[in-house]
Structure 1
Amino acid sequence: MQIVVTLDCVDTEAQAGFWLAALAPLDYRRGFDGPPYLSLVGPAPAPTLLLQQVPEPKQGKNRMHLDLDLGAEDLAGEAARLERIGARTLSCEQHERGFRWIVLADPEGNEFCVFATPPGGVPMK
């Protein structure tokens, strides 16, 4: 069994560059590349991120988004790293039930979050 998360994008190459840099702490790499698809794969059992080229730019809010635990306790520092590679921060750090997160957008405007689990808490998996 495998989970593949598909992300529509106008420029798959540019998005691959961003997402590979964003996911570097999780050891993602390029996988299948056959237009209109380009896959980014992590170590098993990590889901595959499939970039699908579409002609239209993103419009409106995502109905689904990625939540990334990149192992950073300093979420502001992680958001700054992501901004340096092309992300845009959409919210300040938020807290709920011990979880902390920051909402960002990739270079094409797709929302995602970086988060940290509560100290000593149960990870999401």
Structure 2
Amino acid sequence: MTLHWKLVIDCGNAPALADFWAAALDYRVEDPAPLIGRLLAAGQLTEDAVTEHDGRALFRGYAAIRHPEDPYDGTSGVGRGRRLLFQEVPEAKSGKNRLHLDVHSEPGGLDRLVSRLEDLGASRVSEVDKGPAGHWWVMRDPEGNEFCVA
């Protein structure tokens, strides 16, 4: 049985971080606007639970991205495969991540990928060279979450 999963990432600005990671991973930002419209019309959701980002209605405090080849529910916009959900929390990030993403380039494309991620808002932290074991960059996304690029 294939499991559906999502990795939840705490953040300060869910829509902005979803935009960054969608561009970084070539994922799709989920569009819950049709679901939000139905819930509002049915009185099951109040206007204060909704925000707008790039002309789309979103659940306030949340945004998600999905792998473009994975199935998704057309009525809710929710992916049924590999997903990242960004949820806003009041506290700032503190300390090192206990879990992080590794982003891999095509062979010979590390420098191009690192530059592209910097153009999207990421920053380099440190370069790691373990010889035959690997070479990668530790980077931070726009909110300071560490990830590796190899």
Question: Which structure 2 residues correspond to residues 92-107 of structure 1 after superposition, within 5 A?
Answer: 92-95=127-130, 97-107=132-142
One-letter amino acid of the counterpart of residue 107, structure 1: P
- Whole-Å Cα distance in 2 between the matches of residues 106 and 80 of structure 1? 13
Bigger share in helix: 2
The aligned residue for residue 87 of structure 2 is: 52
Question: Which structure 2 residues correspond to residues 1-125 of structure 1 after superposition, within 5 A?
Answer: 1-24=3-26, 28-31=27-30, 32=32, 33-42=58-67, 43-44=69-70, 47-71=82-106, 73-95=108-130, 97-115=132-150
Residues 71-113 of structure 1, C-alpha deviations (whole Å, 9 max, x = no match): 3532122111111110010112423544332110001000011
- Whole-Å Cα distance in 1 between the matches of residues 60 and 134 of structure 2? 38
State the identity as a percent.
39
Which one scores higher on RCO, CA 8 angstroms, separation ≥ 6?
A: 2
Is 2:127–2:138's contact at 8 Å kept on the other side of the alignment? yes
Is 1:94–1:100's contact at 8 Å kept on the other side of the alignment? yes
Whichever of the two has the greater Rg, that structure is 2
Residues 42-71 of structure 1, C-alpha deviations (whole Å, 9 max, x = no match): 023962111111112211100110111243
Gaps of 5+ in 2: 33-57, 71-79
One-letter amino acid of the counterpart of residue 111, structure 1: E
- Whole-Å Cα distance in 1 between the matches of residues 7 and 131 of structure 2? 25
How many residues matched?
Answer: 112
One-letter amino acid of the counterpart of residue 30, structure 1: V
Q: 1:81 to 1:60 in 2, by over 3 A?
A: same
Could you state the TM-score of these two structures normalised by the residue count of structure 2? 0.66
Q: Secondary structure at the match of 1:81?
A: helix
What is the Cα-based RMSD across aligned positions, in Å? 2.1
